[in-house]
Structure 1
Amino acid sequence: MRRHRGVLLYAALLAQLAAGPSPASATAPTGPGAPLPTSQCGVVRSGETPLGDAEVTLYQAGANGSGRPRVLARTRSTADGHFTLDHHRPDDPRAVLYVLAELPRPGGAPADGDRTAPHGPVTLAAVLSGADAPTELVVNERTTVAVAYALARFTGPDGISGPHPGLQNAAAIAHNLADTGTGGIAATLASPPNGPLTSTMAEFNTLANLLASCVTGDACDRLLDLARPPGRERPRDTLRAAVDIARTPDHNAAALFALAQTSRSYLPALPAAPAAWTVALRYDGNGHEIDGPGNIAFDADGNAWVTNNYRYGADPTVPVCGGRTVLKLTPTGHDAPGAPYRGGGLYGAGFGITLDARGTAWAGNFGFQGTGCPIDPAPLERSLSQFAPDGTPLSPPEGWRQGGIAQPQGMATDRAGTVWVANCGGGSVTRIPDGDAGRAREVPTPALRKPFDTAVDPVGRLWVTGNGNDTVQLLAPDGTLRQTVTGGGLRRPLAVATDSRGNAWVSNSGVLPVPCADTTPADLAAAATAATDDPATRPGASVTLIRPDGTPAPVPFTNGGLFLPWGIAVDGDDTVWVANFGGHRVARLCGTDLTACPPGFRTGQPISPPDTGYPSDGLDRNTGLRIDPSGNVWLANNWRTVPLQTNPGGHELVLLVGAAAPVPTPPRN
């Protein structure tokens, strides 16, 4: 009897060794106040097929770009794919946890728990944090694609790591793509304004099928070869392959689609190859609040503050008046507490929104409204509205009116806390030192007609576009004129952005007159309607680069899918992203840091496909474009594709998930 009991104990010990060590358990704190152990059950699957003998590891993501992930628990899946991970939950409530399931190389698992034996090319992944942990975690191709895209900019050779809040927000957004409790499509992706209304859900399934062609098929070498970015190392497994596809979405797009056809595990799938594998996710807040979103600004936590041109109305034939709310959406697309916010003189805010050093939000009241609205906008289009971080209005009921505010549009804030405003209807900019509206003063810009947008460069200088006379001006931090720039292809310029080296990038619509002063929204609509797919109908659509000394590049940059360029932003790698008021596409250009571009590229060369850009049927007429600290490109669906002037507003914000290098938000003072 004793011998039989000894055999059972020895067998249990071997089973524990085969499951592998749990480094977290070995070093877990003990005694009063120590975190209680937690068990996480799960299953590894490909489609409906269980994957046994996978090495399943639970990690805590690194806390910053150089921090290495920490192993919390490790085990192996049983023949039916199931596993249990016993671990101590980290003390940090912001910790990001994720699971990797690595399958052994063909020919069998490493024997006797030999962890030195190499894994195969199959690695599946799922994120645990960012949403409540499910009773049973499913790790499959869908959850892997969700991790690869949402965390594309935080996944490196050693695993996942990154700074707050970008890493945490990215983990939360992964749960908008895949449901880790079922392995299915997440509710956000499955439902309007996504779901059957766009092709993103089918594209997401096709990407999952692409990974399945390796997981349960024999296409691993082909997948890894096709996913390899130009000039970079070949990815070593399916997770890294999906990350590389997210980062270089147009590379081998058609060949990857053909490979995905070898698996039909996930449906519905795309019927034809996309121009690029960008994943576009639409947000509409509570579903009845967004109408004509104009522009976007991010706070220190990565929440999106958004201007709203119009009061919400679902029927475009019914006249709407100016929007009286400013939106604040969490990174996952939900209303922040108490949002949307009202008061403070808000009415028909346009392209102008910014946050100052204290985290207060400023919106410019342009006076947008649909035709047929009985309100006279003239008294309402000469003010700014200011809100505390919790949405409390700080401006009076009539808004801030000092400093010559007149049909305000683009706004920016410098590191010293100065707020700048372009007065499209006044031929000037307004300078507000330290965000103190009582000290606002008007800075005339006589060389600019219809000042439209502003951007601050790394040394605090202000760049301002003039849509009415193809001009850009450069002002010193105190408002003194430094340079007036013409030429370089400037033609109906709209937005401006600066890079880390002090260069200014200007989007040239070519034909779009902004609706201020003597121009109306109907004039803008007519110009937009006249522009067709024929480039001859949209001359001048381009991007101009202006060097820090005010010298424009002699020839503007075209192609990359530019089609009525409007919003523009520079990402953390200094590559340039451009929104378009037509064509349902986003353009991406190589910046001045050539190391961030494909090998052999030069400044201004299109990274996105030259003919189409990054297209998406989730896009309408886009104005604002901004990049958040998770690397998501946010776009404002400002107008419908066929706008009725009674209510032309679009109803969504669109994210290109994980498409860009993250842009850190400034810390709040």
Structure 2
Amino acid sequence: MRRRHGVLLTTALLAQLAAGPFPATATAPGAPEPTAQCGVVRSGGTPLGDAEVTLYQAGDGGHARPRVLARARSTEDGRFTLDYRRPDDPRAVLYVLADLPGAGRTAAATTDGTTTDGADLNGPHDPHGPVTLAAVLGGAAAPPELVVNERTTVAVAYALSRFTGPAGVSGTHPGLQNAAAIAHNLADTGTGDIAATLATPPNGHLTSTMAEFNTLANLLAACVTGDACDRLFDLARRPGHDRPQDTLRAAVDIAHDPGHNAAELFDLARTSPSYLPALSDAPAAWTVALRYDGNGHEIDGPGNIAFDADGNAWVTNNYRYDADPTVPVCGGRALLKITPTGQDAPGAPYRGGGLYGAGFGITVDTTGTAWAGNFGFQGDGCPIDPTPLERSLSRFAADGTPLSPPEGLQEGGIAQPQGMASDRTGTVWTANCGGTGVTRIPDGDATRAREIPLPGLRKPFGAAVDPADRLWVTGNGNDSVQLLDPDGTPRRTVTGGGLRRPLAVATDSRGNAWVGNSGILPVPCAGSTADDLAAAATSATDDPATRPGASVTLIHSDGTPDPAPFTNGGLFLPWGIAVDGDDTVWVANFGGHRVARLCGTDLTACPPGHRTGQPISPPDTGYPSDGLDRNTGLRIDPSGNVWLANNWRTVPLRTNPGGHELVLLIGAAAPVPSPLL
């Protein structure tokens, strides 16, 4: 998926507000029955009367125009009723915009696609300024009364931030539908309050996200009921983009560039403390980090993530779950499948197929089959000998049925498998961290698996395929990267460019490879142990001298590395790495509680004046969150959410060092199609 140019959400949507009333028609046989949706528009506890409320069906396609379904005007007590017919498509996403008097107008689209003239968005407006509030109706059961307020607006702005364009809100399945559903994890459209997912553990008062979300709502309230609209729009304006003209678009712009003017926006939000609890200090960035823990007693040491065609997250689990870090745990025997909204998929977690202590290796192939690498992770004190259990792969059907035998798939020289990747032909690859090469499984046929020795590679770890189906593999043990042709022929060994204890690798749309250099982390295979990894990780502090070499290396598609690595953006023990749909680069860190974001090779997706590798996230802190622990896997889903695996606790105990959550940065990245091939 390529970049969506510009955020023209409200300009286009307001263009439809002048559409005339629907003609009266008889109900066709089999047509949906008329539906009445009641609702109320509020700012905090204050009803907002005389708001023009419009119900839309989001466009089905990247540039499709949304369709007006109903319109009403709120009464003095803020209430309204929308009479409409539910679309035939059960996947249709419906949302409401409430536009207060004084909001500007552009040329307005009618229901038949023609336009009528309206006032210029830049024209005069009342002291409240152009105010547009929003709420998602589709994606969850409609409440008896729909509340539209600043909280529901922030939920829409973040969850749907990547589905905007000249025609309005539009997108394809499953990204748009999943994004609409996730909006209900942030705000409760039946009450206007914080949604249960955000309000309760592992979120709630355990992290600062709930307070941050309320502060963002207060920021919009400063415009809705105050006189701060011009200040809000000036601060929210992204470099190189048009100034937002209403509250919804301002919130979308903040979601796209959360580190821009963060402190100034916080100061403005404090002028309208309508929603509590709120932040007491300015954040480094306005990223909204939401934690998932599945059923609450299954995630322990999540290693890496892969998405299927529906946007479900398949997750490896290092350890058997136990909430007590002092209790010795053996290797995880459960493969997780988490829905986009954070629940277990039907029948999940899945067991069998030789699964034991899976690590960083997981992929979903062209058929929707999930593969996991059995590394043999376990805590100190587990009585099981992991040696016979760390030399196999496990394979599962889309419904969780194990397709590998009880001892796992052992063909092709599997040895402590870590990074995995699959290509468009169905070929599956795995890096053998405990060996000297990779295993290639053509067409996913394990009987044809073969080992490809790579003498120039020690501790093969990260693996990624590029658009030409070539494989890139990192060598954590000798600061190198190996490039292989699709048939497995070794093409080039890459050294230099700042490669130092490299871990994950990702490729962009131009065939370039991006490598996360941990600098000091030895992966626990081929002679190194988990104790070595823990010692290196705990030695890193805020002093850069304690984590030398923490960086990202760009290797061009011809195998030539950039002479110098990239070192800013909040990099702190880089591990997982991914490239989003705009070719910008995201990096997880095994320390520092932060995510880094770097400008990629497509400079049009970066702030003006940025160069390739220059940080987009704040240089000193990255995008920090107290919801993050020690992160390994990082992936981007079809809705533009950045998923991270809280693999280890900040202070790990060797008996059970595992973390217990997945963390999503909501709507932070350009969406990526799934599965990642």
Same structural fold, with TM-score higher than 0.5 when normalized by the shorter chain: yes
Q: Alpha-carbon deviation of 1:667?
A: 9.6
Structure 2 letter corresponding to 1:577: W
Q: Alpha-carbon deviation of 1:21?
A: 8.3
Pair 1:441 & 2:450 matched = yes
The aligned counterpart of 2:637 is 628
The aligned counterpart of 1:199 is 208
Structure 2 letter corresponding to 1:442: E
The aligned counterpart of 1:361 is 370
Q: Alpha-carbon deviation of 1:440?
A: 0.5
CA distance in 1, matches of 2:431, 2:47: 59
CA 1:29–1:379: 2 relative to 1, 3 Å: farther
Assess if the C-alpha contact under 8 Å between 1:24 and 1:71 holds in 2. Answer: no
Aligned counterpart for 1:67 among listed residues 64, 68, 77:
64
Aligned counterpart for 2:626 among listed residues 617, 630, 634:
617
Assess if the C-alpha contact under 8 Å between 1:622 and 1:638 holds in 2. Answer: yes
Pair 1:335 & 2:332 matched = no
CA distance in 2, matches of 1:628, 1:666: 9
Q: Alpha-carbon deviation of 1:24?
A: 7.9
CA distance in 2, matches of 1:258, 1:350: 43
The aligned counterpart of 1:188 is 197
Assess if the C-alpha contact under 8 Å between 2:365 and 2:675 holds in 1. Answer: no
Assess if the C-alpha contact under 8 Å between 2:151 and 2:214 holds in 1. Answer: yes
The aligned counterpart of 2:5 is none
CA distance in 1, matches of 2:24, 2:328: 65
Structure with the greater alpha carbon radius of gyration:
1
Aligned counterpart for 1:256 among listed residues 255, 265, 279:
265
Matches within 5 A, 1:367-382: 367-382=376-391
Assess if the C-alpha contact under 8 Å between 1:61 and 1:68 holds in 2. Answer: yes
Instruction: Specify every segment of 5 or more residues in structure 2 that has no aligned partner in the other structure, as ranges.
Output: 1-16, 105-115
CA distance in 1, matches of 2:23, 2:87: 14
Assess if the C-alpha contact under 8 Å between 2:63 and 2:165 holds in 1. Answer: no
Aligned counterpart for 1:53 among listed residues 50, 54, 59:
50
Assess if the C-alpha contact under 8 Å between 1:453 and 1:464 holds in 2. Answer: yes
Assess if the C-alpha contact under 8 Å between 1:542 and 1:557 holds in 2. Answer: yes
CA distance in 1, matches of 2:233, 2:54: 23
Aligned residue for 1:178, secondary structure, equals coil
Assess if the C-alpha contact under 8 Å between 1:627 and 1:660 holds in 2. Answer: yes
Structure 1 letter corresponding to 2:142: A
The aligned counterpart of 1:531 is 540
Aligned counterpart for 2:600 among listed residues 575, 581, 591:
591
User: What TM-score does the superposition give when structure 1 sets the normalisation length?
Assistant: 0.95
The aligned counterpart of 1:295 is 304
Pair 1:35 & 2:32 matched = yes
Assess if the C-alpha contact under 8 Å between 2:43 and 2:149 holds in 1. Answer: yes
Structure 2 letter corresponding to 1:507: G
The aligned counterpart of 1:352 is 361
Aligned counterpart for 2:416 among listed residues 392, 407, 419:
407
Residues 181-221 of structure 1: CA deviation (Å, up to 9, x unaligned): 00000000000000000000000000000000000000000
The aligned counterpart of 1:571 is 580
The aligned counterpart of 1:44 is 41
Matches within 5 A, 1:186-335: 186-335=195-344
Pair 1:123 & 2:132 matched = yes
Pair 1:166 & 2:170 matched = no
Give the share of equivalent positions with the same residue, in percent. 84
Pair 1:140 & 2:140 matched = no
CA distance in 1, matches of 2:437, 2:491: 15
The aligned counterpart of 1:7 is none
CA distance in 1, matches of 2:43, 2:477: 57
Q: Alpha-carbon deviation of 1:115?
A: 9.2
Assess if the C-alpha contact under 8 Å between 2:364 and 2:676 holds in 1. Answer: no
Structure 2 letter corresponding to 1:89: R
Assess if the C-alpha contact under 8 Å between 2:306 and 2:676 holds in 1. Answer: no
The aligned counterpart of 2:392 is 383
CA distance in 2, matches of 1:375, 1:164: 44
The aligned counterpart of 1:421 is 430
Residues 140-184 of structure 1: CA deviation (Å, up to 9, x unaligned): 000000000000001234421111100000000000000000000
CA 1:22–1:549: 2 relative to 1, 3 Å: closer
CA distance in 2, matches of 1:522, 1:206: 41
Aligned residue for 1:169, secondary structure, equals helix
Assess if the C-alpha contact under 8 Å between 2:437 and 2:451 holds in 1. Answer: yes
CA distance in 2, matches of 1:344, 1:277: 42
Assess if the C-alpha contact under 8 Å between 1:286 and 1:334 holds in 2. Answer: yes
Q: Alpha-carbon deviation of 1:236?
A: 1.2
Assess if the C-alpha contact under 8 Å between 1:24 and 1:87 holds in 2. Answer: no
The aligned counterpart of 2:95 is 98
Assess if the C-alpha contact under 8 Å between 1:467 and 1:493 holds in 2. Answer: yes
What's the Cα RMSD here? Answer: 1.5
Aligned counterpart for 1:602 among listed residues 602, 607, 611:
611
Pair 1:659 & 2:656 matched = no
Assess if the C-alpha contact under 8 Å between 2:63 and 2:167 holds in 1. Answer: no
Assess if the C-alpha contact under 8 Å between 1:23 and 1:71 holds in 2. Answer: no
Residues 603-628 of structure 1: CA deviation (Å, up to 9, x unaligned): 00010011000000000000000000
CA 1:379–1:425: 2 relative to 1, 3 Å: same
CA distance in 2, matches of 1:438, 1:27: 65
CA distance in 2, matches of 1:24, 1:614: 46
CA distance in 2, matches of 1:404, 1:26: 69
Pair 1:492 & 2:501 matched = yes
The aligned counterpart of 1:15 is none
Aligned residue for 1:148, secondary structure, equals helix
Structure 2 letter corresponding to 1:71: V
CA distance in 1, matches of 2:555, 2:547: 22
Matches within 5 A, 1:105-116: 105=102, 116=118
Instruction: Specify every segment of 5 or more residues in structure 1 that has no aligned partner in the other structure, as ranges.
Output: 1-19, 108-113
Aligned residue for 2:131, secondary structure, equals strand
Residues 511-548 of structure 1: CA deviation (Å, up to 9, x unaligned): 00000110000000000011111000100000000001
Aligned residue for 2:282, secondary structure, equals coil
The aligned counterpart of 1:9 is none
Assess if the C-alpha contact under 8 Å between 1:300 and 1:667 holds in 2. Answer: no
Q: Alpha-carbon deviation of 1:267?
A: 0.1
Q: Alpha-carbon deviation of 1:413?
A: 0.2
Assess if the C-alpha contact under 8 Å between 1:28 and 1:88 holds in 2. Answer: no
Aligned residue for 1:385, secondary structure, equals strand
Aligned residue for 1:185, secondary structure, equals coil
Aligned residue for 2:371, secondary structure, equals strand
